[in-house]
Amino acid sequence: MLIEQAIFTSVESDRRDGYQLAAHSAGVVSADLRELSLWGPSHDSLLETGSDAVSVNFHPLPSGAFCVSKTTPAGEEYSGRGEKIYTQCLVVPAEVLARFGNNPFALLTAAFAQGSLRVYDKVPDLLEPFRLAGKAAAVDQALLCQLLSEPGITWLGAVVEAALSSTSLALVAGRLRPRLVAGLINCLPVECRTAFSFSTGLKHSPRRPFRLFCLADDRAEQRRLERQYDMTILQLSGKPPMRFTVTVGWSGFVACTIATGKTSFLAQQLGKGRPNLTLADLPRLGDELLEALAAPAIPPDESAASPAYPNERSCHVVAEFRTPTEPPVDDVPLWPESDLGDEPVVEHVGAVAGEPYDDLRRADAPHPRFQRASQLPGTAPSTTGEPPDPAQVLGAACPAAIEKLERLDDTVFEAIAGKPGAIEQLRKLWPEVLAEVGPELVEESREQYLRHALRIWRDCVEGDEIRNPALAATAIGVVCLLFNE
């Protein structure tokens, strides 16, 4: 199918002068032309100035097609009053957009690569429609990995939740604006993406009622918009608002899969055909998929025959973190300030009925490497029949490594429990341990930390109500840190 196009900019013409729909291809219907004229940005509409300023925009059209547009500066206005704003609009049939995963960013990338996006010095009288070959995957996994580092999984989950729960969402995100909006679109099922009209760099205007847009860091302007319009303003600084930090529903599923490295499972679910899926269905679907992550592991002899999770080595990892006999945690406390002192109060971490998880008291307790090290010369055999204490075994062979590992254990557990300052200590300590301790032991340690953090995360979302969402978000944040290095 053909993609029609139009250009909205400032020109002198026989009809009128100034900002207008300066040219379009013959196939654009009149109702769409009126809509394009109404939404077209004019002088001083970009949030930023300069030659590098850009905005990607997306909204539906009356014909059932969609407008995917790009707004950039294009030299001086003919009137001499400043920078000219130039918007190239692509009128994309729904079938063509679906071929690109209903992702306007993916479609624009393909159009640019094909040479179909041009800024004309002199706008022609008539534009030609064009065909766009190819298709795009449902998810840009590389983009999601970038967002893990900045703004981080907690903020990404909060943006997804805020977008789903708000009629209109304004993001104050500085240079992260285009990447964050693109990331949000990537975190939605294909069927739901067209419900989000958006702009990454145009100033707010009632003529352009985008569901998702961006604002400059101007508190006076933000307060004015909050008073006049029904919108949610989310400023990405500090910690996300508690009401958007959830661990259930769709945003909880997205945060869990990305934080645990299961972006292939997320991509599979986002691209899976679900006809008639709407935004209202996402909370229930998210909970169902979280349950699927926690389903019993597939036996080894059956895994090759099961198509449920292709090419996913650890798609059932969450199932290992709870046993049928393990009682639920009613409320896992944050690190109690009254207990802060020289010695870490590890007993509060993941405690059940006031007792610690014995198998998770130290990350180094079950490592096979310690058991192999117990055969080193000079290691005294156990007189009780039990394996020797792992810390003593490794300490005999490498005291510096065990000291570093013990510090890492304490710091990880303290960070997951929410002890003030622990996450900052972990950011410094973790690279040191990676450099000093062998890769086998690091992976075994990391596995134990993952088991513990996801157990905390799951305990916080068991039942009908969210239990301690701040602790759940902290646990996922620690997982992201440990798996991002």
Query: What are the backbone dihedrals phi and psi of residue 89, each rounded to the nearest 5 degrees, phi first?
Result: -105, 130
Q: What is the distance between the alpha carbons of residues 170 and 225, in angstroms, rounded to a whole number?
A: 10
ω before 241 within 30° of 0 (cis)? no
Q: What is the distance between the alpha carbons of residues 387 and 363, in angstroms, rounded to a whole number?
A: 16
Residue 105 · residue 177 · CB < 8 Å: no
Q: What is the pLDDT of residue 400?
A: 65
Residue 219 is inside which H or E element, if any?
helix 219-228
Q: What is the pLDDT of residue 193?
A: 97
Token pair 């030609």: residue? 128
Q: What is the pLDDT of residue 346?
A: 36
Identity of residue 168: S
**The two structure tokens encoding residue 154:** 């907690």
- Beta sheet of 212-214, edge-to-edge order: 17-24, 4-12, 83-92, 66-76, 55-60, 198-199, 212-214, 169-172, 232-235
CB within 8 Å of 172: residues ≥ 6 apart: 214, 215, 216, 217, 222, 233, 234, 235, 236
Q: Would you give per-residue pLDDT tens digits along the chain (485 residues)?
A: 899 999 999 998 777 788 999 999 999 999 999 999 999 999 889 999 888 899 999 999 999 999 999 999 988 877 777 789 999 999 999 999 999 999 999 999 999 999 998 888 889 989 999 999 999 998 888 888 888 888 888 899 999 999 999 999 999 999 999 999 999 999 999 999 999 999 999 999 999 999 999 999 999 999 999 888 889 999 998 889 989 988 889 999 998 888 877 888 888 899 888 999 999 999 999 999 988 877 654 444 443 333 333 333 333 333 333 333 334 433 333 333 333 333 333 333 333 333 333 333 344 343 444 444 434 444 444 444 444 444 444 444 456 666 777 788 788 878 877 777 888 888 888 887 777 766 666 666 776 777 777 777 666 655 444 456 566 667 777 777 776 54
Q: What is the pLDDT of residue 295?
A: 66
**The two structure tokens encoding residue 479:** 């997982």
Token pair 């909060």: residue? 158
Which residue, 58, 62, 40, is CA-closest to 184? 58
Identity of residue 382: S
Q: What is the pLDDT of residue 462?
A: 52
Q: What is the pLDDT of residue 180?
A: 95
Q: What is the pLDDT of residue 168?
A: 94
Domain positions in the chain are 4-114, 141-290, 331-376+387-483
Residue 275 · residue 98 · CB < 8 Å: no
Quote the distance between the C-alpha of residue 312 and its chain's center. Answer: 20
Q: What is the distance between the alpha carbons of residues 241 and 236, in angstroms, rounded to a whole number?
A: 10
Q: Which residues pair with 87 in a beta bridge?
A: 8, 71
